[in-house]
Structure 1
Amino acid sequence: MSWQMINLRRPLEFRYYSRDKNCSGNYSFGAKSAIVQPLNYNAPEQIRLAYGDQTDHMLVSYVTNSSEYAPECQYAYGGMGVAPAQPGSKSTVDRVRAQVSTNNITCILHIGDISYARGIGALRNAFMIHTNPITSHVPYMVGIGNHEYDHITGGDKDPSGALGPEGFPSIMLIVGPHRPMYSSIVRNVGDPIKDMLQKSLEPMFYQYHVDINLFTHIQSYERSCPMYQGQCIDDGITHALIGMAGHNLDFDTYTGAKWSVYHDQQFDYTQISVNRTHLHYSYHRNVDDAVVDHFDLTK
């Protein structure tokens, strides 16, 4: 007999009782185990609940505060949309769904440009159905992109002029503001919002030791070295453009910036595995789940 015990908070002793083969009479004590107790009484410390795909089904996961426990795993991407309008989104959902159903995935991060509904309610509903195989199993965290700000009037521009939230703290410090702070794709050269982000937010990110800056908006993938103010440095911020979840890709040339470690233009997704002291980031192709870019961080 074997089982897995979660969230043990007190010392525990197992005892074995039996009675005759006819299952009658009183139970008699047979044996007892050694005392079982947690390795770390401080973990797990936080419970997450998610509804399953049945009305009487709920999933429970625990977040720990200890490097002794298995890491949290999460997937991150942006710029998805809904198939068939954005046909690449189906391959991303299919791949992530397969991973969620078989691996210890604790949450999904969708960094803006979610459904591209542009005020059309039917497309929002279609997106919810599209992602239901994922959202019915794990928490699905979203950030606001420019295509969410225009939910009333439609269109491609952000009428508020706002930059969006800088959220998604994890055990390592990760932010997800949607708009790119860095991109070496030619179309992004001279972008005033990019320049404003570098001027207004990058010093604060560096001051508070942000580890990874995830953003989308441009439909492609690019990852930087740890950097600050355009220069690779040991304690810098790693920037990752992850806008390749399904919307039509932006095919363009690159400037050859020295800080750009890897870039491509295909439909893919990223995975982040993290505990209190270590983070592993990997970038996977939709077509075969092959890892084509990865890095590790340690604190």
Structure 2
Amino acid sequence: MLRLSAFCAISLLLLFAGLLGVDAHGRPSPWSKGAAGRWHNDLEEAAPSRELLLELEQQEQQLELDGTINRRAPRAAVTVSASPSLIAKNGDTVTVSWSGVTKVQADDWIGVYSPSTSEHSLYIDWVYVKECETASQGFGNVTFELVNMRKDYGFRYFSGNTVLTQLAQSAPVEFVNKNEPTHGRLAYPGDPTTMRVMWVTNEDKTIPTVQYGTSAGILNMNMSGTSHTYRASDICSPLASTPSPVLFIDPGFFHDVLLTNLAPSTLYWYRYGNDATGWSAVANFTTAPQPGKNTPISFVVYADMGTYSTGPGAVATSERVLSHLDDVDFVLHVGDLSYALGRGYVWEWFGALIEPIATNKPYQVSIGNHEYCHLLGGEKDPSHAAGNGFHPSWGNYGDDSNGECGVPTHNRFHMPDNGNSVFWYSFDYGSVHFLQFSAEHDFLPGSDMYKWIANDLASVDRSVTPWIFVSAHRPAYCSENYMGDYNVSLYLRAALEPLMQQYKVNIFFSGHYHSFQATCPVMNGTCSGTFDKPTAPVHLMVGMSGASLDNETYMNVTWDAFHDQAFGVAYVHVHDANSMYFEYRHNDNDGVAWNMTLSNWAML
């Protein structure tokens, strides 16, 4: 967190003002991110009214037509300034200062706009002026960390939240290089001699290039790749496809470079970009080991993260992961990534949040309901599901993505190509076979995905990868009292437990509920063995990584080994073919809240 400003003792990230929040179970969320790193509860402290701002905009437009005012000119003696006016690089800070206010009202606030010419109602953040310790003296400043969204920013001072007056606005703040390479991330393609590098710029006229080598100072190898994007017309439903500063924004171009002929288990240094658009900072990664029966690996696993704007625990999670980054090989994010819900700038912030992690470790993702579920426009669905997706009568599959239907996720992340894009795929890493599928698609016996899952499990060579870890966003076991989701879990069990039993799957990772829960080794709702002598999979629900926590009660079930409603991160350390260690750590103190040593029932 930033701790700047001598006159306003708060630290700020550019945060979402709360437009479309819903929680994991389809309920309207009362929480929206405010300034100063804290969370506004909109049931108690409302965000500035977009409706009143729209009325003010219309009034000012009419007065401008009448020749009464220039609505973009400074007002009275109140001033708002932003410094510096040119931002050198993504993530740099700007200090917004205000002065000349005779009497600060309790609901005076500063709005953040990108682009700077946006209508009043389309702010993407706000801070209440009263939070500054010098507010009573008529001046103050706040500091923001800006993400390069390839357009400028502006800041406006408003007085009132029931009757609004715009008192002042800053000059625009711009990035020196709007083509700066941003949102860098790695992905493991499934072959230890390869690594995928992706990033974003504002153009596709130059060749995207990665320079790399085995020394930080000698990047003597080059690989070029391809570029692509998506447009508003590619998205399934009108809300997510509506051009607006707070809905669809131009996502830029995604550059995708596959590095090949790498040596396994080797440290490489790299940078991405080109001479025309600029280069990223030099980072490094280590290639995967050759798959092997006793090859140890470690990874982070979590779900339901969000970002600065949509997850009150997301920043702490990213900080905890960064503090343990040297101890793990990659990250497994099991759905519900950004909670953008059609808001393009939230995707921008998610890219910025994970970049320090994802430029050093492969960031493997899967689809969640808030990336995919939709009710319209199924012909645009990149997964090519029939109709408008999976909507069984017994399920609670709605419009949880607000019409995104997986399009942003499909374009922003490139996972192994042996399944169906980001929706389902598998890969071997060390001694583990990983299978990620989509619980938002038809998983019933006879479906295309079910057949793929069955074939993939049947193809695993346990003499090479003795462990099998399966993951999907929705859990097959969770005892929180959300009956709609619990009903879906029963169908997941009925469909997939026979396969998991047949092929001796070791762990099923999931999320969806914003909490943590671990089961005993369980099959058909009954504990089967112990952690040291299991005869069934263990289910680990890791949805506690950032999005607003659940506060529901729990059903009384026999298979619940541990449950917890606190923000945290899970770590997995596979020692050899026979034993692995799992731990769940709380974000607040990094303490281990629950752990488990598990034997491999396929080896017993």
- TM-score of the superposed pair, with normalisation by structure 2: 0.39
Matched, 1:73 2:298: yes
CA distance in 2 between counterparts of 1:151 and 1:124 reads 18
Deviation at 1:125, TM superposition (A): 1.1
Provide the alpha-carbon RMSD of the alignment.
2.9
Q: Could you tell me which residue of structure 1 aligns to residue 596 of structure 2? A: 295
Aligned residue in 1 for 2:346? 123
Residue type matched to 1:285 in 2? Answer: H
1:143, 1:250 → 2: CA distance? 22
Q: Which residue of 1 aligns with 2:571?
A: 271
Cα deviation, 1:31-71, whole Å, max 9, x if unaligned, reads xxxxxxxxxxxxx96669785795444322342445665x2
**1:83-232 paired onto structure 2 within 5 Å:** 83-100=308-325, 103-150=326-373, 155-156=399-400, 165=424, 167=426, 169-170=433-434, 171=465, 172-188=467-483, 191-232=486-527
Q: C-alpha separation between the residues in 1 aligned to 2:337 and 2:580?
A: 26
User: Is the contact made by 1:80 and 1:89 (CA closer than 8 Å) also made in structure 2?
Assistant: yes
2:548 matches 1:248: yes
Distance 1:48 1:196 in 2: 44
- Are 1:58 and 2:358 counterparts? no
Q: What is the DSSP-based 3-state SS (H/G/I as helix, E as strand, rest coil) of the residue aligned with 2:489?
A: helix
Q: What one-letter code is carried by the residue in structure 1 that aligns with 2:581? A: H
Identity of aligned residues (%): 30
Q: Which amino acid aligns with 1:178?
A: H
CA distance in 2, matches of 1:166, 1:177: 11
Give the Cα separation in 2 of the matches to 1:152 and 1:134. 34
Structure 2: distance between partners of 1:116 and 1:63: 33
Change in 2 beyond 3 A, CA 1:252/1:179: same
- Kindly provide the CA deviation profile for residues 230-272 of structure 1, in whole angstroms up to 9, marking residues without a partner as x: 1111211100111001000111111121110000101001000
Q: Name the aligned partner's letter for residue 61 of structure 1.
A: T
Deviation at 1:136, TM superposition (A): 1.1
Corresponding pairs, count? 251
Q: Which amino acid aligns with 1:254?
A: Y
Query: 1:68 and 1:156, CA in 2 relative to 1: closer, same or farther beyond 3 A?
Result: closer
* 1:204-228 superposed Cα distances (whole Å, 9 cap, x missing partner): 1111111000000111110000010
Contact 1:184-1:256 at 8 Å conserved across structures = yes
1: CA distance between counterparts of 2:502 and 2:366?
23
Q: Counterpart of 1:218 in structure 2: which amino acid?
A: Y
1:115-141 deviation line (CA, Å, top 9, x unaligned) = 011122111111010111100110000
Q: How far apart, CA to CA, are the structure 2 residues paired with 1:237 and 1:68?
A: 20
Q: 1:282 and 1:290, CA in 2 relative to 1: closer, same or farther beyond 3 A? A: same
3-state SS, counterpart of residue 588 of structure 2: coil
Task: Provide closer, same or farther for how the CA distance between residues 222 and 136 of structure 1 changes in structure 2, counting only shifts above 3 A.
Answer: same
Q: How many angstroms apart in 2 are the aligned matches of 1:45 and 1:135?
A: 19
Classify the secondary structure of the residue corresponding to 2:337: coil
CA distance in 1, matches of 2:507, 2:269: 26
Higher relative CO (Cα under 8 Å, sequence separation at least 6) belongs to: 1
**Distance in 2 between the 1:253 and 1:63 partners?**
43
Match for 2:321: what amino acid?
V
Contact in 2 for aligned 1:231/1:259 (Cα 8 Å): yes
Cα distance 1:178–1:167, how it changes in 2: closer, same or farther (>3 A)?
farther
Q: How far apart, CA to CA, are the structure 1 residues paired with 2:469 and 2:264?
A: 21
Mapped to 2, the partners of 1:206 and 1:200 lie a distance apart of: 12
- Return the alpha-carbon distance in structure 2 between the equivalents of residues 152 and 105 of structure 1: 39
Q: For the Cα contact (< 8 Å) 2:309–2:346, is it kept in 1? A: no
Distance 1:178 1:271, change over 3 A: same
Tell me: CA distance 1:50–1:142, structure 2 relative to 1, closer, same or farther (3 Å): farther
Separation in 2 of the partners of 1:68 and 1:93?
Answer: 30
Q: Which amino acid aligns with 1:63?
A: P
Contact 2:584/2:595, CA 8 A, preserved across alignment: yes
Q: How far apart, CA to CA, are the structure 1 residues paired with 2:268 and 2:305?
A: 25
CA distance in 1, matches of 2:589, 2:494: 39
Letter in 2 for 1:156: D
| Deviation readout 1:247-298 (Å, 9 max, x if unpaired) | 0011111112111000010100100011441211111011111111111123
Distance 2:332 2:265 in 1: 19
**Structure 1: which amino acid aligns with 2:560?**
S
Paired letter, 1:139: P
Distance 2:495 2:401 in 1: 21
Distance 1:223 1:175 in 2: 15
CA contact (8 A) 1:45 1:65 kept: no
Are the equivalent residues in 1 in contact too, given 2:310–2:338 (CA < 8 A)? no
Name the structure 2 match of 1:286: 587
